[in-house]
Structure 1
Amino acid sequence: MSDESGTTMSTSRFVGCTLLILAICLLVATPQWMIMCLFAWDAMVYTVACFFLSFALLAIIHMFEPLKYARPWNYIVIAVCYELLTLGSASFLMEWNLICTIIVLAMALLFLVIVLLICALLIWSGLYANPFKMAVVGVMGFVLAFCIEIMDILEHWYFWQDVAVGVFICSVIIVIISHVLITYNNIELLVRDDALLVALVLYIAYLLFLVSGRVSLFYIRENAYYFATTTPMTYDAEEDDEEHKRK
């Protein structure tokens, strides 16, 4: 693999560069999340705006080649996109217990590491389906999660939200695996700056795990409270008979 300067870049070096950029993104974002968790108030309204702008910028980057490879503009746009993603996800952690925030951050990282290890195992074994078809299945999972949310509005069932979160997490896993496999299959066509984009996509995957973990913990608490306060109703035939005789 060669970059725009013409120097060769091995697959292992590309992977190492991608993981290094991802680690830097996580290290820079973690203090911001801690500060938002401790001191920020009422910023949830900005979540959708931050995510919308960040994904719009990411789409523009992929549509226009100069923003992908023309330095320093590609670094500037990706840095802005990264910061919008970080601030948008931070609003899910604000006004919350710091210990719970750390637990969710660690669990999201654990999920990402496990998925990357699965990708490495699939690449090493060569036993995987067409990654483009896998990506379609992952996108269909996102649509299914949205449909489950709609079902919660149309027909009430207490556990619709739990099912939707589970489908969403599975869809994220499938999309990550398919993206890594697609990147591996086109590794000879990638240049050094592509490592920055791949790392950003993995960072977005981490944020999706982060948001899913935050929502999952909320519903776990709700379910625990529901089962703790709801006592099963029992039917006593003798008491019912006595009550009938009194009447």
Structure 2
Amino acid sequence: DREGILKPEDVRGAISESTALITVMHANNEIGSIEPVEEIGEIARGRGVILHTDAVQSVGKIPTDVNEMNVDLLTISAHKIYGPKGVGALYVRKGVALQPLIHGGGHEHGFRSGTENVTGIVGLGVASDLARIRREDDARNLGALRDKLVARVLREIEESHLNGHPTKRLPNNANFRFTGVEGESLILDLDEKGIAASTGSACSSKRLEPSHVLTAIGLNEVEAHGSLRLTLGRGNTEDEADYVVESLIEAVKKLRAMSPLWRKTV
């Protein structure tokens, strides 16, 4: 829907006799919306279909219990929970049969042959333990900081909008769109101020493509190109959030002053 939430009944209606696997993100990486995986899992189990969820964005930020979620397969990545890059994990429910894509020495229980990244695996394990211990505090602190940032942006920048669900979203995610502002220009302006952000646009070969996520929730190409994603981390402070808002106010005002798309009448 327009808030990025997948409707379980739509999933039910899409299942056919040939459906072998359903895969859905636990939370969207662009707009932060949290999907109803538990309900989808009940539907999948009732129809005898394997359910996989990509929990890369959600682990360490919101509760993630494979039994409560009714999932058969779940993937995570270490770098999203402050672990090393280049290593992840796949949860496989007992009884689910998998066929390896990489054959050879039979490493990793025969699922992925090749020399194991032992240091990366250990790092993932430690990061997972820390994420479990810190999750509630992190979620509370990040959520409060995110809410303050969102409230100020929507209040202090006219014709600014929040993409994604207003409450069913990751605690560290804020995705905005600004009428009359092109996202790539906004990114460049913020980068000069030392702010790392991403836009709803993705560079593809010779032309700029709007985000497929943003167009899927009903935004047109102009709206998608005017979107901005900001994500917070454990180390961010209120002063930094305030600095981001002040920088956004200045950047949007400057870009609108020279934008042919900004036709605000007084």
TM-score (norm 2): 0.27
Larger radius of gyration: 1
